[in-house]
Chains A and B, each alone.
Chain A
Amino acid sequence: MSYYEEEDLGRFGDVGQHRPDLFEKFMAWYQACQEDGALSRREKALIGLAVAHALQCPYCIDAYSQSCLEAGSNLEQMTEAIHMASALRGGASLVHGVQAHNSVNKVSM
């Protein structure tokens, strides 16, 4: 057994058993975010997939992989989105090298 169970994604609504008012507000906001707007559903699904990887959320990865396919994206496009997320994560770590260099320089002759 692992901590993440695939079928638990379908039980997301159970979270709303307590403080349903808050959950309903979240769901209304969440669903409104998915709609076509200045960005298409397809672009939003790719953003969702990238964020899911940055957060490393298995539920979100399952959900947004399906959303991307059903929005017409292919695996090449989805993989590019995943690389974008990963590159940002890598870059976000690497840029802190400047902080380390600053720290070292401050205490060095």
Chain B
Amino acid sequence: MSSRELPVVEESRVRAPAAFGQKLVEHGLSLRAGRVETLQVNVGKLCNQACKHCHVDASPRRTEIMTAEVAEQVLDAVRRFRFPVVDITGGAPELNPSFRRLVSGSRHAGSRVMVRHNLTVMFEPGQSDLPEFFRGHGVEVVSSLPYFLGRQTDAQRGPGVFDKSVEALKRLNAVGYGVEGSGLVLNLVYNPVGAFLPPPQGSIEADFKRELLSRHGVTFDRLYTITNMPIKRFLEYLRRSGNEERYMRRLLDAFNPASVEGLMCRTTLSVDWTGRLYDCDFNQMLGLGVEEGLPQSIADFDPEKFVGRVVSTDAHCFGCTAGAGSSCGGAVVRG
């Protein structure tokens, strides 16, 4: 896999901040958050991969990671406010020295813990026991695999990633993950390998199940389809390939008002490696914080103040409302 940093480009051209809000008004909709059900913790930008669509611009060269002190502030909030779900992401979150403490502390506090696990990190030094660690803490594993064939997967995630990912999936299966009746959840994530929308979640999940089982003997629970957001590295790809305008038009044309009610930002709070708060991981990457006047740091979080907050939006939000909608839990509108 490549450790090459792709250039970070200025987003201003694609951003028309009022456009998404205007679209909501046209449809008589508004976007306010309810109670926080999921605390999504992004522990930093360090990753063993440098995927071409990554909205975090994560790579092996990045040094921005959550300190033990901030991780303790996060855990303190988890203990005090008992978030039903703690969703740990990165980068490759396992590379953060505080990762295992965050997992065990959150589980101890009674939260369901999801880890955005990129599979290949299992082959990095000191990480070979991850399947057993996940199983020991009842972690729900969510892993990106953009396609069930090597060519497409490697095109997005780097040469050789597909074969390593399949090997990692086999190791997870071997300890019970994704195996029916084990109670150990292994969900996969599909991202389009290019400038197009995801297919219907149910039909592509059936393809993945059939093909991964017949070709590799691999099983898993659910497949989440997630739309590529026109920010950061994927936006750079769109510009480089001359697809930016067409992709944005596709997102706008596919706006589905039925997706707005189920958007993840209504029930998610995102915290970055410094402890700052956002409505979602995408807003985090754009530096688009939670509503002005609210506490901006996890250390100052107060759940009552956050109920009913106006979600911060921008043009990239069209990515979550296109077609069947998109969230970290896959399609929003079930077909």
Instruction: List chain A positions with a Cβ less than 8 A from chain B.
Output: 10, 40-42, 66, 69-72, 74
Within the complex, the shortest CB–CB distance from B225 to chain A, in Å, comes to 9
Q: Is B19 on the interface with A (CB-CB < 8 A)? A: no
Are A40 and B196 in contact (CB-based, < 8 A)? no
Of the candidates B194, B199, B323, the one whose C-beta lies within 8 Å of that of A42 is B199
Task: Give chain A residues whose Cβ lies under 8 Å from the Cβ of B198.
Answer: 70
CB-based nearest A residue for B196: A69
Known A-B contacts A40-B203, A42-B203; A74 and B149 likewise in contact (beta carbons under 8 Å):
yes
Q: Is B21 on the interface with A (CB-CB < 8 A)? A: no
Q: Is B192 on the interface with A (CB-CB < 8 A)? A: yes
Task: Give chain B residues whose Cβ lies under 8 Å from the Cβ of A42.
Answer: 199, 203
Q: Is B296 on the interface with A (CB-CB < 8 A)? A: no
Of the candidates B152, B197, B207, the one whose C-beta lies within 8 Å of that of A70 is B197
Are A70 and B149 in contact (CB-based, < 8 A)? no
Within the complex, the shortest CB–CB distance from B238 to chain A, in Å, comes to 15
A-facing residues in B174-221 (Cβ within 8 Å): 192, 194, 196-200, 203-204, 207
Task: Give chain A residues whose Cβ lies under 8 Å from the Cβ of B196.
Answer: 66, 69-70
Are A74 and B147 in contact (CB-based, < 8 A)? yes
Interface of B is mostly: loop
Task: Give chain B residues whose Cβ lies under 8 Å from the Cβ of A41.
Answer: 200
B: contact size bracket = 10 to 19
Known: A70-B197, A71-B203. 12 other contacts (CB 8 A): A10-B249, A66-B196, A69-B192, A69-B194, A69-B196, A69-B199, A70-B192, A70-B196, A70-B198, A70-B199, A72-B207, A74-B152
A70→B147 CA distance, assembly (Å)? 13
A42→B249 CA distance, assembly (Å)? 22
CB-based nearest B residue for A76: B149
Are A72 and B149 in contact (CB-based, < 8 A)? no
Sample 25 A-B pairs with CB under 8 A, ordered by A number.
A10-B249, A40-B203, A42-B199, A42-B203, A66-B196, A69-B192, A69-B194, A69-B196, A69-B199, A70-B192, A70-B196, A70-B197, A70-B198, A70-B199, A70-B323, A71-B199, A71-B200, A71-B203, A72-B199, A72-B200, A72-B204, A72-B207, A74-B147, A74-B149, A74-B152
A74→B147 CA distance, assembly (Å)? 9
A-facing residues in B279-297 (Cβ within 8 Å): none
CB-based nearest A residue for B249: A10
Are A72 and B203 in contact (CB-based, < 8 A)? yes
A70→B225 CA distance, assembly (Å)? 11
Task: Give chain B residues whose Cβ lies under 8 Å from the Cβ of A10.
Answer: 249
Task: Give chain A residues whose Cβ lies under 8 Å from the Cβ of B204.
Answer: 72
Task: Give chain A residues whose Cβ lies under 8 Å from the Cβ of B323.
Answer: 70
A94→B272 CA distance, assembly (Å)? 65
Question: Which 4 interchain pairs have the tightest Cβ spacing?
Answer: A72-B199, A72-B204, A69-B196, A70-B197
Task: Give chain B residues whose Cβ lies under 8 Å from the Cβ of A66.
Answer: 196
Within the complex, the shortest CB–CB distance from A101 to chain B, in Å, comes to 45
Task: Give chain A residues whose Cβ lies under 8 Å from the Cβ of B249.
Answer: 10
Within the complex, the shortest CB–CB distance from B299 to chain A, in Å, comes to 43
